[in-house]
Amino acid sequence: MTQDLSIWTMVLNASIVVQLVMLLLVVVSISSWAAIFRKLFALRKVQAHNESFERDFWSGTSLNDLFNTAARNAQNGQDAGPMERIFASGMREYQKLRERRIADPGTLMDGARRAMRASYQREMDVIESSLSFLASVGSVSPYVGLFGTVWGIMHAFTGLASMQQVTLATVAPGIAEALVATAIGLFSAIPAVVAYNRFAREIDRTAIRLETFMEEFSNILQRNVAAQSPAVPAGK
């Protein structure tokens, strides 16, 4: 008789352990795709916010106006990009030190840099979220699928032990059912690995861009410290 070796039939005929492995891999695959799309949209949003703020920053707008806009956005609950929040953190600390009548350039710059560095670390933690999940899916899913395959093959050969005559037709269905677990594991792992590598490159570029901005903003503050009296800087 011709056996039905369709994927759905093999899944239904697999042992309960293999079916549980397949179900786990399907759930992981759906979760990884959801994480991929969330991260894709989040990174695009971050890039758009950073580009918008960077244009405003280099357009000649004064530091005070930029800071007031950032504070107003935060107060109104409007979304802002990492670069704007880093700028606001540095500028806020700089103004607090100037209000305390601190005129030492080293103290002013160290305070602003520490505030920006702390904000930078918080922003990077948010940007890098979900990457560890994708890395885990990409590295573990093939082994989970392989476990299901090994268990399915063991189950298939155990069932054949009582048979007097074993042919390829009797062995093939059990092995094919077990191999489905490996296929699903690879299906879960490959998109996660590809997405992880792409997102890691984009996040590295974002990190370099933010660090470059912090250095440029620090240079601007340093020039204001050297050129102006102990008052809040009015421009770049």
Q: Which two tokens stand for residue 194?
A: 């590809």
Number of Cβ within a 10 Å radius of residue 49: 17
Give the span between the Cα atoms of 183 and 14, in whole angstroms.
14
Q: What is the pLDDT along the chain (236 residues), one digit of tens a residue?
A: 445 556 667 767 777 888 888 899 999 999 999 999 999 999 999 999 999 999 989 988 888 888 888 888 777 667 788 999 999 999 999 889 888 877 787 888 899 999 999 999 999 999 998 899 999 999 999 999 998 888 888 777 776 666 656 555 566 666 777 788 888 899 999 999 999 999 999 999 999 999 999 999 999 988 887 776 544 444 55
Residue 202 corresponds to which amino acid?
E
List the structure tokens of 27: 């759930």
Could you give the CA distance from residue 48 to residue 81 in angstroms, rounded to a whole number? 8
pTM, entire model: 0.80
Rounded Cα–Cα distance for residues 41 and 70 (Å): 23
Residues 6+ apart with CB under 8 A from 232: 64, 95, 98
Compute, in degrees rounded to 10, the torsion defined by CA atoms 82, 87, 90, 92. Answer: -110
Spatial distance between the Cα atoms of 176 and 169, rounded to a whole number of angstroms = 11
Q: Give which of 100, 105, 123 is closest to 214, Cα–Cα.
A: 123
Q: What is the pLDDT of residue 169?
A: 57
Residue 207, token pair as written in the block: 């990190």
